[in-house]
Structure formats: structure tokens, C-alpha cells
Structure 1
Amino acid sequence: MPSARIYQIPKNAMQSGRARTHSWMLEFEREDAQRPDPLTGWAGSADTRPQVKLSFPDQAAAIAYADREGIAYHIVPAPERKLKLQAYADNFR
């Protein structure tokens, strides 16, 4: 049985906007370990499921999909949003 993790997309650290951070992702976990390719040395495996990432509008829709398709899942809670409130004048103290 495939297993997956369901998580909310975090805010990009390089951008100030919060676009697409309200959607939830279902991402499959690896079934087997990656092995280095003897010719190139790149890591790879025969399992193509981790390349699939499904997007859902909310957590309930992602859970309903996983239950309907028989996918074992665990939910990764979104980190708490920490606001660092400071005034411009604090730069000159």
C-alpha cells in the first residue's frame, strides 16, 4: 500500500507574498532507497511515485482523496507563523 504525506504549502522565504499558500499537497513517500547510477553517479530509483505531487484546495479534500484511493497518509502540521514586529526607528538604537 502506498504511503503519502499531506501538508500545507509554506510561504516562500524569498517572496513577501502569500500566494498559493492556502492549498494542500499530497506527496508520495519513497518505497525503496535511491541507488547511485554506475555510469553517471546520479542517485535514482525505479519508483516514480515520489515525482507525483497532487494539489488540493483544503485538507479535507486531500484526506478524502487518500481514503478513496486507499492511500495511507500522515498529516504534517503547518508551522506557526511568527511575526517579528518592529519599527523602523529600532534600526537606529
Structure 2
Amino acid sequence: MQHEGTDTKRPASAGNVTRAALLGLCGGMLLGGLLLLGMGLKTRMTPTDCTDLSELECGTTREADQDLSRMQLLSGAALLALGAAVVVLVRSKGSPASH
């Protein structure tokens, strides 16, 4: 007895599994890029808390925060671009022709 949801005529090929894995990986890269962009913007926009720090320590902390936010923004943008490029590449190839 065969279930209605299964298709025994066409088994899943390795190409379809690879394509699905690549699309899942790209989704993770896109989400990670968005998260890094958001964290970088938050780090850049929020002022540094210097209540218990000396003037020198506060300046150093501000510079470190600025460098960290710049790195987060660049890394997030790079992840978004890489994820989008791989999505376009995978989607443009389409499914392999069945014989």
C-alpha cells in the first residue's frame, strides 16, 4: 500500500539535495549578515558608557567600539553580498533536465 504523499517514480537526486543544502547555507549567511549589520549599527549609534572610567580609558573604549562596529558592518555587508551571489548562482542554474 502506497501513501499519497510519496512519489516512487522520481527519487531525490544528489543535485537536488546539494541545491537545497546550498540554499539553506545561503539563508544562514543572509541572516548572519543581517544580524551583523544590525549589531554594527547598534554599536555605532549607542554612546559608550564612561561612568567609572578615566578620560584615557573612555577614549580607548570609544575607539575600540568604533573599530568593532566598522568590522561588524563590513563583515555583515560581505556576508549579505556572498549569500545573495550564491542564491543567484544556484537559482540561475535551475533544476537539471530530466531524461
The two structures have a TM-score, normalised by structure 2, of 0.31
Greater fraction helix: 2
The two structures have a TM-score, normalised by structure 1, of 0.32
Greater fraction strand: 1
Higher relative contact order (CA 8 A, sep 6+): 2
